[in-house]
Amino acid sequence: MSFGSIVVAVDGAMASQDALDHAVYLARLGPVYLAGIFVVDAKWADFIGNDWQSAKGARQGFLDYIRKEQEEQAELARLQFSLATQGMDRVVFSVHAGDPAEVLVAQSGSTDVLIASRRVFQVSGRPSLKSLASMLAKKASCPLMLFP
């Protein structure tokens, strides 16, 4: 099996380490582009949308607080990715924003293999991210490798 590009979801936590290691292993086998991606979850506003009697600095203050935590997590993910890919060229790390499941599904359209952990992004995510893997299995348009 030969392929030109791999996308791996990296979240800066232990959950994504096995998936990342395997992606690096595959990328080292041949001339392959490896892209690590982190998704800043933009669905929090919707998630707390049911709350309506907040005062100033309550809801938006919370969203900014969550955003900060996610940006820190993105930095950890960047670090995790650059450690795992030391000495490799043809690698890129990018941070996206949106619904993690949707972003990964969109990525699957422009890569040959998508690699992710079933628990990826749960470190700072909403409960429904537990079903991210099953959503990927349903909608990904490229071969998909899921790690526990």
Instruction: Give the residues lining the site for other proteins (CB under 8 A).
Output: 5, 7, 33, 35, 37, 40, 42-67, 69-70, 82, 85-99, 103, 107, 110-111, 122-128, 130-131
Whole-number minimum distance, CB 50 to other proteins, in Å?
Answer: 5
Q: If DSSP codes are grouped into helix, strand and coil, which group holds residue 23? A: helix
Sign, CA torsion 6/20/37/42? positive
Whole-number minimum distance, CB 98 to other proteins, in Å?
Answer: 6
Q: Which is nearer to other proteins, 18 or 51 (CB)?
A: 51
Q: Which is nearer to other proteins, 127 or 148 (CB)?
A: 127
Cα separation, 105 vs 128, whole angstroms: 16
| Residue partners of 72: CB distance under 8 A and separation at least 6 | none
DSSP code at position 90? S
Whole-number minimum distance, CB 6 to other proteins, in Å?
Answer: 11
Residue with tokens 């890129």: 92
Q: Which is nearer to other proteins, 111 or 147 (CB)?
A: 111
